[in-house]
Structure 1
Amino acid sequence: EGSMLALDLPDASLGGLLAWYSTIHVPDEELPRVFAEFHRVLAPGAHVQLGFQVGDEPLRMTEALGAEISLVFHRRQPERIAELLRDAGLE
């Protein structure tokens, strides 16, 4: 258990990073910090594999399998994600 805002890893310690549909739970205003943290823990030349839902509006779920829930999936445009990754120092 942890936070993408403060990974419990040393600088430049990873040869790659997989964020498969995990950033969809991060609010838009926190994405620059998450991507900066990814950059911090990745070794030079390392790769990021990032999966996310494409869209313009969040998806809000209030029920699943008969249970009441409160879950938001932040959907984003690939061009915006690419811009944020570049701004964080990732190619």
Structure 2
Amino acid sequence: MVFIQIKLEATSRRHLEQFNAAVKKMDSIQSCHMMAGGFDYLLKVRCRNMEEYRVILTDQINRLPGVHQTTTFPVMEEVKRVIGVDLSDAANS
């Protein structure tokens, strides 16, 4: 698993919509979050190994509309994973 920070060339509505539409079509991207701060998106990608990831990065992610820069963070160990979170008022009491 790797996390990838994405910076776009521009963040106009058109650029964001094009990027979002393209990401939704990619099976290799497990999740995509638009972020505030020093980068625009955070992607979570699962792959068999780093060789497969390199292909995904160069052949797919770097070709997404508007991608200016990527920064990759390979996961060494998943310490905790929660599938669902109870957001009801009862859970907050």
Question: Do the two structures share a fold, i.e. TM-score over 0.5?
Answer: no
More strand by share: 1
TM-score calculated relative to the size of structure 1: 0.31
Mark the structure with the bigger radius of gyration. 2
TM-score calculated relative to the size of structure 2: 0.31
